[in-house]
């Protein structure tokens, strides 16, 4: 059979310039690494529409700090487009959280699939700086409970924070961002905020934190009520709590040891 030839029109993007100190992530998701190499640990991610401050530039590696949660690391320059301060302020006023698991977005450089956890405009057509984007369909506006249900079985990914892959604190951060509360990125930082709650006072939406043998915070989950918790461990899943500890029926063992509970609203 003859081979089918596909022709793709490549369009140039106006990438971040050396003098620019603000920008946004134009990729569906971008790895933020601890060091300036693709082999370095991914500590978190930037999502489409997320804005950053440029700390320094080293060849094609950009040291950034997210304007959403203050997290810091190194990203590939080719995933960023520069913005002015005025353009950043305008975009922050117009954007919202993308809650559908994935949406097709028309961009100036072609179509791309963007995951839940990205930032999009409130209308089907929106601008970031001087660039125009079009959504193929209206995004789904979900309640926090519907968001949880849609994320069940999304795979665990260290440093992930989208429907393409997510870690425990990325999941709790996204959940609270949807309901209008901006939490820090790491579980240990999330645990430092909020009000402390006793186990017998826990309500749905409270965050349960878990510790290792040294007493360090290593995990977080969202309480659902009736001794059930949803969390990212292998995949986003619902497990039972026993005296605050997470019991995994599949493994027939306690997988996470209770540390504390925090309430944020």
| Residue of 168, 243, 256, 259 with catalytic role | 168
User: If you search the block for the tokens 């619902």, which residue do you land on?
Assistant: 238
| Residue of 231, 243, 256, 259 with catalytic role | 231
| Residue of 26, 79, 219, 259 with catalytic role | 219
Annotation marks residue 219 as catalytic: yes
CA distances from 245 to 5, 145, 233, 258 (A): 56, 22, 14, 5
SS3 90: helix
CB atoms within 10 A of CB 221: 27
Rounded to whole angstroms, the Cα distance separating 215 from 100 reads 36
Annotation marks residue 168 as catalytic: yes
Collect all residues with Cβ–Cβ distance below 8 Å to 51 and sequence separation of at least 6.
22, 23, 24, 25, 66, 67, 68, 83, 88, 91, 92
Rounded to whole angstroms, the Cα distance separating 166 from 158 reads 7
SS3 237: strand
Rounded to whole angstroms, the Cα distance separating 222 from 208 reads 6
Q: Closest Cα partner for 117 from 171, 44, 179, 41?
A: 171
Q: How many residues does the chain have?
A: 265
Annotation marks residue 231 as catalytic: yes
The continuous run of DSSP H or E covering 172 comes out as helix 168-178
Q: What are the catalytic residues?
A: 168, 219, 231
């Amino acid at each position: 059979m003859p081979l089918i030839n596909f022709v793709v029109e490549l369009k140039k993007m106006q990438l971040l310039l050396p003098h620019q100190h603000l920008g946004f992530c134009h990729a569906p998701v971008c790895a933020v690494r601890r060091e300036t190499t693709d082999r370095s640990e991914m500590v978190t991610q930037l999502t489409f529409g997320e804005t950053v401050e440029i700390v320094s530039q080293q060849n094609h590696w950009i040291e950034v700090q997210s304007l959403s949660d203050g997290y810091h690391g190194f990203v590939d320059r080719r995933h960023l487009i520069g913005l002015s301060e005025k353009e950043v302020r305008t975009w922050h006023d117009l954007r919202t959280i993308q809650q559908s698991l994935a949406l097709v977005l028309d961009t100036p450089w072609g179509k791309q699939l963007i995951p839940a956890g990205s930032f999009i405009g409130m209308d089907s057509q929106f601008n970031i700086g001087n660039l125009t984007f079009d959504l193929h369909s209206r995004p789904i506006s979900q309640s926090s409970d519907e968001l949880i249900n849609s994320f069940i079985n999304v795979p665990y990914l260290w440093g992930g924070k989208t429907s393409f892959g997510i870690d425990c604190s990325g999941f709790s951060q996204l959940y609270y961002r949807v309901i209008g509360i901006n939490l820090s990125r790491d579980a240990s930082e999330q645990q430092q905020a909020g009000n402390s709650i006793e186990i017998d006072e826990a309500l749905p939406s409270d965050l349960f934190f878990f510790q290792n043998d040294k007493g360090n915070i290593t995990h977080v989950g969202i309480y659902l009520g009736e001794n059930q918790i949803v969390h990212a461990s292998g995949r986003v899943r619902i497990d039972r709590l026993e005296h605050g500890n997470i019991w995994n029926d599949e493994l027939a063992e306690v997988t996470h040891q209770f540390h504390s509970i925090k309430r944020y609203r």
